Amino acid sequence: MTSPRFTAACVQLQCGRSIDANLETVTALVREAAARGADYVQTPEQTGLLESRRDRLFDQIGTEEEDRMLPVLRDLARELGIYLHIGSLATRIADDKAANRAFVIGPDGAIRARYDKIHMFDVDLPGGESYRESATYTPGARAETVDLPWTRLGITICYDIRFAYLYRRLAQEGARVLTAPAAFTKVTGAAHWHLLQRTRAVETGCFVISAAQGGKHENGRETYGHSLIVAPWGEVLAEAGTEPEVILAEIDLARVDEARSRVPSLTHDRAIDGPADRRERRAS
């Protein structure tokens, strides 16, 4: 039996502060990806807008039902007959809180899966950059997968990529393709982006597909770009630069079976004690 294959595309963006302008760009690039043969198209984290000021962000975003971009992209997926994975949109869930929420849309325009980013990027970087994602966003609490015609897809977002246990959980629950659409900073991206993407692929025997924001944004933030499609053995199949563009690669699921047969580490988990367990035994 021939293993399933499909063509995946990453749409790299350089989103600004206008949802309408960003929608125009993403629509054109998704159309390009479909015209080039993509069956599955992924956009980056914060596809709607990249805005660091809370007041400006909440002036523009709404609930999922009120979102201006989502219905247009659902219609676009239906028109093009593709699976469209929106890396994330800022979605209002309370007066002063949002979810950083991913959507996977089917070729019928239906939302097949939602995922709220679990791990919040709260950090002070050398050079003065500071991020407090938890001040604006409420973290999710559920790992999510979705079944596509070819395979099961594991859904994550950006900073999640640093937490290996999440990807192992997704792989052990049947995911053969993992995703981490992102808006990585230039500094952390240059140091860790390729390393983390390839490591998650190798340790799970999965493909990893991650569309990214790239370049200098209206709000002054600079993101790393370099959208990646990585094979289960760690090879980079496609890579973007720093400007908006489309990259594509064929996803041959036979490569997952091959990698996992060579290194079957997903089946080799062991129960281990930690220092606290040993202290409790000594005390008793």
Catalytic residue among 10, 15, 45, 144, which? 45
List the one residue out of 42, 56, 22 whose CA is nearest residue 158.
Answer: 42
Q: How far apart are CA 56 and CA 136, in angstroms?
A: 12
Length of the chain, in residues: 284
Among candidate residues 133, 103, 106, 98, the one with its CA nearest the CA of residue 115: 103
- Token couple for 108: 């019928």
The answer to whether 15 is a known catalytic residue is: no
Tell me the backbone φ, ψ of residue 22, rounded to 5 degrees.
-65, -40
Contacts of 153 (CB under 8 A, 6+ apart): 85, 104, 113, 145, 146, 147, 175, 177, 178, 179
> Does residue 117 have an active-site annotation?
yes
Phi, psi values for residue 17, rounded to 5°: -95, 0
Q: Exactly one of 117, 144, 186, 206 is catalytic; which is it?
A: 117
Active-site residues, by number, are 45, 117, 158
